[in-house]
Amino acid sequence: MKILHILPSIHDEASGPSVSVRRLAEEQGKLGHDVELHVLDYGPIPPVEGVSVFSHELLWKRTALGRRIGVSVQLTTALRRSGLTADVIHNHSLWMYPNVLAPLLGGRPGFVSVFSPRGTLNDAAFERSRFAKEIVWRAGQRLALDRANLVHATSDEEAEFVRARDREKLVCVVPNGVDVPAPTGRAVRGRTALFLGRIHPIKRLELLLDAWSLVDSVDSRLQIVGDGDPAYVASLKERAKRMGLRNVEWVGPLYGEHKWDAFRRAAVSALTSGSENFGMAVAESLACGTPVVVTKTVPWARVAEFGVGSWVDSDAGAIARSLSFWLQSEPGKQDAVERAAIRFVEDKFSWRTAASRLLQHIESARAGAGRSQQSKS
């Protein structure tokens, strides 16, 4: 099959979709499909093995509004041309020009339009800039979603958000995969609690700082790895200062082996987001054998079931108690959890499995689209 993926950007390696869409496209290419990835020119494009990547020039690139909307004549022309021979047009995310445009384009007879919201349809995400999103929704985003033959959710929770807006929509749930880094010998874990990801209000780092204020942190540290809007990052640092928090270390973004090393050296990682469609940082932490503390707004209840983390209420006290539990784990306990966490990820979250399962759902939707066209002819 010829598969077109459309995503506003893959240049930010701290963004979950930048990694997950890239890896999904690579695995589909390895399975023998002709895969194209179309993005906007927001920055340098990382290598994508076996995939034809096209970066399209933005209109009004030098203005904040232009970069936010993402209009591109080049993208429109390219998708019209490539779409004529596409079997699958797979759109990722919502609310920008490519997300409205892509599903409205036609492919070859029987083509399938696939939508992956990537967290952008969840209630918490919808509420942010709600007025602007209502305008986009009425201007074409709703029609684009209506025309999708298949919606790909990465968790049961995200699927429910989709069904709440359209009970008749065909939805499949296929979690992201995760790359398990090569082992480097026994990890030397310090008494470090780690947040690694994009620093954004949706991540609720204020709640994590509140929880840290309740942890006995004399010989422990909270390490915050990532970047975001400079004004927002500065406000978080000022908050930590006003609270008199000790041992909070602010680190810029880390990629590649530096990222994996941060996970390996931590006793526990934390994600307290108000909403996540998947939570790639959780999977990456477990892939390094590091247990996680996640709030129940994050779709990872199974970490508690498998004994590789805590799934807790969005309460500073509950988060603090779980962080303290994992920070105080003895080396023997850490070793056992490390083995269990890596095995958990290897069994359930390989990229080959994710790509194959999604392709099966696409084939089913494609067969249904073909039958629908025959009935109309």
> Do 166 and 24 have their domain in common?
yes
Distances in Å between the Cα of 18 and the Cα atoms of 7, 153, 309 are 8, 16, 26
The reported pLDDT for the residue numbered 80 is 84
The reported pLDDT for the residue numbered 260 is 92
> Do 107 and 125 have their domain in common?
yes
**Full domain range(s) for residue 197:** 192-348
The reported pLDDT for the residue numbered 373 is 43
> Do 12 and 149 have their domain in common?
yes
Q: Is 356 inside a domain boundary?
A: yes
How many Å apart are CA 298 and CA 92, to the nearest integer? Answer: 20
Q: Is 294 inside a domain boundary?
A: yes
As given in the structure block, the two tokens for residue 112 are 């399938």
Angle subtended by helix axes 16-30 and 280-287, to nearest 10: 70
Determine the residue type at 298: V
> Do 199 and 213 have their domain in common?
yes
Determine the residue type at 144: A
> Do 361 and 298 have their domain in common?
no
How many Å apart are CA 207 and CA 298, to the nearest integer? Answer: 14
Distances in Å between the Cα of 64 and the Cα atoms of 28, 39, 100, 202, 221 are 34, 18, 19, 21, 36
Q: Is 90 inside a domain boundary?
A: yes
Q: Is 170 inside a domain boundary?
A: yes
Residue 76, judged by CB atoms within 10 A of its CB (0-12, 13-18, 19+), counts as middle
Q: Is 27 inside a domain boundary?
A: yes
Model confidence, pTM: 0.73
How many Å apart are CA 8 and CA 92, to the nearest integer? Answer: 8
Q: Is 187 inside a domain boundary?
A: no
> Do 142 and 78 have their domain in common?
yes
> Do 334 and 362 have their domain in common?
no
Total count of domains within the chain: 2
CB proximity list for 16: less than 8 A, separation 6 or greater: 118, 119, 176, 197, 278, 279, 280, 281
pLDDT digits (tens), the chain, 377 positions: 999 999 888 765 555 788 889 999 999 999 999 999 999 888 778 888 999 999 988 887 778 777 788 888 888 888 888 878 889 999 998 888 888 886 667 666 678 889 998 887 777 777 777 888 888 888 788 888 888 889 999 888 889 888 888 778 899 999 998 887 877 666 668 899 999 999 999 999 999 999 999 998 778 999 999 999 999 999 999 999 999 998 999 999 998 889 999 999 999 999 999 988 788 899 999 999 999 999 999 989 999 999 999 999 999 999 999 999 999 988 888 899 999 999 999 888 889 989 999 999 999 988 875 444 433 33
CA 15 to chain centre: 7
Q: Is 212 inside a domain boundary?
A: yes
Q: What is the CATH number of the domain that holds 95?
A: 3.40.50.2000
SS3 223: strand
The reported pLDDT for the residue numbered 244 is 93
Are the C-beta atoms of 300 and 279 separated by less than 8 Å?
A: yes
The reported pLDDT for the residue numbered 100 is 84
Distances in Å between the Cα of 248 and the Cα atoms of 207, 221, 282, 318, 321 are 14, 6, 21, 19, 18
> Do 300 and 362 have their domain in common?
no
The reported pLDDT for the residue numbered 296 is 94
- What are the strands, taking DSSP E only, across 167-278? 171-173, 192-196, 221-225, 248-251, 268-271
- HSE-up of residue 290 (Cα within 13 Å, Cβ side): 36
The reported pLDDT for the residue numbered 106 is 65
Alpha-carbon torsion (351, 355, 357, 361), positive or negative = positive
> Do 138 and 254 have their domain in common?
no
Are the C-beta atoms of 7 and 46 separated by less than 8 Å?
A: no
The reported pLDDT for the residue numbered 185 is 63
Are the C-beta atoms of 269 and 194 separated by less than 8 Å?
A: yes
Angle subtended by helix axes 280-287 and 331-348, to nearest 10: 120
Distances in Å between the Cα of 79 and the Cα atoms of 5, 70, 102, 113, 181 are 10, 15, 7, 13, 35
The secondary structure of residue 348, as a DSSP letter, is H
SS3 177: coil
- pLDDT one-digit tens code per residue, 30-83: 999 999 999 988 877 888 899 999 998 888 777 877 778 888 888 888 888 887
CB atoms under 10 Å from CB of 85, counted, come to: 12
> Do 156 and 199 have their domain in common?
no
How many Å apart are CA 118 and CA 317, to the nearest integer? Answer: 30
Q: Is 185 inside a domain boundary?
A: no
**CA geometry: angle 316, 321, 323, nearest 5 deg:** 90
> Do 359 and 260 have their domain in common?
no
> Do 341 and 361 have their domain in common?
no
